[in-house]
């Protein structure tokens, strides 16, 4: 009997260094690859225009072109994976299903249901660690528990890494064993946008491994300056790889291999960011309640006093705080946001506008090209002081100070709030403090061309402290 395997790709859209695909090819005489457009996820998206769909489609088309050159193809379906995967297993007479593990609660439940269903039919199920470098059981404290503070977790992560002689596996894929399904719908010949009810849109980032590798190579040229430059939005010297990592165009091991090529602060800072990513994945896996609840349970008692009207203005980039508005307009137009600015706008929403962090987290989930539940949730709960190893509740970012420190010349503000571009490098952070002559010179009238601050930072800070103290 011919051993037939099916590799189900989800958030690992590549053909190299792919754990599940590597093992499926190694253990089978014939291997097929499938991607399911998951209707249970797509139907929850609020707009028929979503840059992430275009990014995924770019990634899948690149895979399809590569497979076609080998005489194979990608099997693409639309529907509920709990229905489509068993149907495909029956149709192709599959012996073994292979996939890489996902740590989001809904994904874990989906995979458990499919596994139970297929095992009853005698199908072998193989799942693999691929999305993270270490899973929750591999980096534990002295009590054999998951770490809840990042720094000791990072230290243990590095200790574990060094104890394994800093070896980074590379799961090579012998693609010659891939097969095609003549009845599958080709990505290159079928209008999948119509099938999944989405509209193709322009994206500032082109999906796929080719573009990911180019960005990785470009980042190598600047990584030595990463520690200093990463906080300055206008410099654009972050890696710009987060969407490619999220969609799996690159493997986490690609990232780590690059991070240990050098020994300067830039390389070590980049590795630290990768470890943060593992940390948040571990927290979500071990404590799935954080998807909807505060990690620190007592903070679920907070009575968020912020208004829906203020939340709407925050979403639209019309708060009267230039650095916040520039960041939000950038997000809305591009699907991207600099990491420093994510902290600024999150702190502003929760501790200046006093709006529940979950509203901001959900808005980011709708807009971010690199949206990842674990990282997004972890970041928002960190900013709101409700999460694991979060900043203290009394640490409240001053948006004016953040603006002057990280966009001193207002270059980022000028790009995304062009109505402010003629203000001086000082006034651009405080345009509401300009007099009429200065507004005439800047051709921008506060209250008409750009809004007054919708709240007083100083007054709101006192309210925020009282709000948090009320639950202590």
261: CATH: 1.25.40.80
Question: Could you say which of 157, 270, 314, 357 is catalytic?
Answer: 357
Annotation marks residue 273 as catalytic? yes
CA distance linking residue 137 with residue 160, whole number of Å:
12
Question: Could you say which of 27, 265, 304, 366 is catalytic?
Answer: 304
Note the pLDDT of residue 184.
Answer: 66
Average pLDDT over residues 422-426: 97
In sequence order, the 6+-apart residues with CB closer than 8 A to the CB of 190 are none
382 and 410 co-located in one domain: yes
Q: What is the CATH number of the domain that holds 80?
A: 3.40.50.620
Note the pLDDT of residue 180.
Answer: 79
**pLDDT category, 177, cuts 50, 70, 90?**
confident
Question: Could you say which of 117, 225, 339, 398 is catalytic?
Answer: 339
Question: Could you say which of 39, 135, 273, 438 is catalytic?
Answer: 273
Question: Could you say which of 8, 157, 192, 276 is catalytic?
Answer: 276
Inform me whether the pLDDT recorded for 330 exceeds 80.
yes
Annotation marks residue 276 as catalytic? yes
Min mean pLDDT across 71-80, 95-104, 180-189, 422-431 is at 180-189
Burial of residue 167 (number of CB atoms within 10 Å: 0-12, 13-18, 19+): exposed
Instruction: Report yes or no: 35 and 60 within 8 Å, Cβ to Cβ.
Output: yes
Q: Domain count for the chain, please give it.
A: 3
CA distance linking residue 154 with residue 275, whole number of Å:
6
51 and 110 co-located in one domain: yes
End-to-end alpha carbon distance in the chain:
66
The model's pLDDT over 41-60, given as tens digits with 9 standing for 90+, comes to 999 998 999 999 999 999 99
Share of residues in the chain with pLDDT > 70 (%): 99
In a domain, 314, yes or no: yes
317 and 456 co-located in one domain: yes
348 and 449 co-located in one domain: yes
27 and 112 co-located in one domain: yes
Note the pLDDT of residue 448.
Answer: 97
Q: What is the CATH number of the domain that holds 461?
A: 1.10.579.10
Inform me whether the pLDDT recorded for 233 exceeds 80.
yes
In a domain, 182, yes or no: no
Q: Which two tokens stand for residue 132?
A: 């993270």
213 and 326 co-located in one domain: no
Burial of residue 258 (number of CB atoms within 10 Å: 0-12, 13-18, 19+): buried
Q: 373-384 and 357-367 helices cross at what angle (nearest 10)?
A: 150
Annotation marks residue 357 as catalytic? yes
Inform me whether the pLDDT recorded for 1 exceeds 70.
no
Inform me whether the pLDDT recorded for 183 exceeds 70.
no
Inform me whether the pLDDT recorded for 71 exceeds 80.
yes
266 and 337 co-located in one domain: no
Note the pLDDT of residue 234.
Answer: 86
Note the pLDDT of residue 179.
Answer: 82
Note the pLDDT of residue 164.
Answer: 93
Inform me whether the pLDDT recorded for 442 exceeds 80.
yes
DSSP code of residue 185: P
Question: Could you say which of 314, 380, 382, 416 is catalytic?
Answer: 380
99 and 149 co-located in one domain: no
CA distance linking residue 157 with residue 28, whole number of Å:
34
Note the pLDDT of residue 187.
Answer: 82
Note the pLDDT of residue 22.
Answer: 98
Where a domain ends, among 286, 318, 341?
286
Average pLDDT over residues 279-304: 97
The model's pLDDT over 238-279, given as tens digits with 9 standing for 90+, comes to 888 999 999 999 999 999 999 999 889 999 999 999 999 999
Please state the separation of Cα 156 from the chain's center in Å.
Answer: 24
Annotation marks residue 291 as catalytic? no
Inform me whether the pLDDT recorded for 341 exceeds 80.
yes
Q: Which two tokens stand for residue 173?
A: 């894929």
* DSSP string of 377-436, one letter each residue: HHHHHHHHT-STTPPPTT----HHHHHHHHSTT-HHHHHH-GGGTTS-TTGGG-GGG--H
Residue 28 lies in domain: 4-130
278 and 387 co-located in one domain: no
83 and 142 co-located in one domain: no
43 and 85 co-located in one domain: yes
Inform me whether the pLDDT recorded for 466 exceeds 70.
yes
68 and 109 co-located in one domain: yes
The model's pLDDT over 396-407, given as tens digits with 9 standing for 90+, comes to 999 999 999 999
The model's pLDDT over 186-224, given as tens digits with 9 standing for 90+, comes to 788 889 999 999 998 888 899 999 999 999 999 998 899
Mean pLDDT of the chain: 95
Where a domain ends, among 286, 314, 337?
286
Note the pLDDT of residue 275.
Answer: 98
Average pLDDT over residues 444-456: 98
């Amino acid at each position: 009997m011919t051993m037939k395997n099916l590799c189900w790709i989800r958030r690992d859209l590549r053909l190299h260094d792919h754990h599940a695909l590597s093992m499926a090819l190694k253990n089978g005489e014939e291997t097929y690859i499938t991607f399911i457009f998951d209707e249970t996820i797509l139907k929850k998206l609020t707009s028929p225009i979503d840059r992430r769909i275009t990014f995924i489609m770019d990634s899948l088309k690149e895979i399809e072109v590569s497979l076609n050159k080998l005489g194979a193809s990608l099997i693409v379906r639309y529907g509920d994976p709990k229905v489509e995967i068993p149907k495909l297993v029956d149709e192709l007479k599959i012996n073994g299903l292979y996939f890489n593990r996902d740590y989001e609660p809904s994904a874990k439940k989906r995979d458990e249901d499919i596994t139970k269903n297929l095992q009853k039919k005698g199908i072998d199920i193989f799942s693999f660690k691929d999305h993270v470098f270490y899973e929750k059981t591999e980096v534990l404290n002295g009590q054999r528990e998951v770490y809840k503070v990042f720094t000791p977790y990072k230290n243990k992560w590095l200790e574990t890494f060094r104890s394994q002689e800093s070896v980074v596996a590379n799961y090579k894929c012998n693609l010659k064993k891939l097969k095609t399904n003549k009845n599958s719908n080709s990505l290159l010949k079928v209008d999948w946008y119509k099938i999944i009810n989405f509209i193709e849109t322009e994206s500032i980032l082109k999906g796929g491994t080719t573009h990911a590798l180019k960005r990785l190579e470009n980042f190598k040229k600047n990584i030595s300056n990463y520690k200093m430059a990463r906080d300055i939005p206008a410099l654009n010297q972050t890696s710009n790889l987060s969407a490619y990592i999220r969609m799996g165009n690159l493997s986490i091991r690609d990232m780590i291999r690059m991070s240990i090529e050098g020994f300067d602060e830039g390389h070590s800072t980049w590795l630290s960011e990768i470890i943060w990513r593992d940390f948040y994945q571990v927290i979500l896996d071990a404590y799935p309640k954080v998807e909807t609840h505060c990690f620190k349970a007592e903070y679920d008692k907070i009575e968020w006093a912020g208004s829906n009207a203020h939340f709407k203005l925050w979403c639209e980039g019309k708060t009267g705080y230039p650095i916040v508005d520039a960041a939000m307009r950038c997000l809305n137009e591009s699907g991207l946001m600099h990491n420093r600015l994510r902290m600024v706008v999150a702190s502003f929403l929760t501790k200046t506008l006093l709006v529940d962090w979950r509203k901001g987290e959900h808005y980011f989930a709708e807009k971010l090209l690199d949206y990842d539940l674990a990282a997004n949730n972890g970041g928002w709960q960190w900013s709101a002081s409700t999460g694991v190893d979060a900043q203290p509740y009394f640490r409240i970012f001053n948006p004016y100070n953040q603006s002057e420190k990280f966009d001193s010349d207002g270059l980022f503000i000028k790009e995304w709030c062009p109505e402010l571009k003629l203000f001086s490098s000082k006034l651009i952070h405080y345009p509401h403090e300009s007099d009429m002559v200065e507004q005439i010179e800047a051709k921008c009238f506060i209250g008409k061309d750009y809004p007054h601050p919708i709240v007083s930072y100083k007054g709101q800070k006192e309210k925020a402290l009282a709000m948090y103290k009320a639950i202590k």
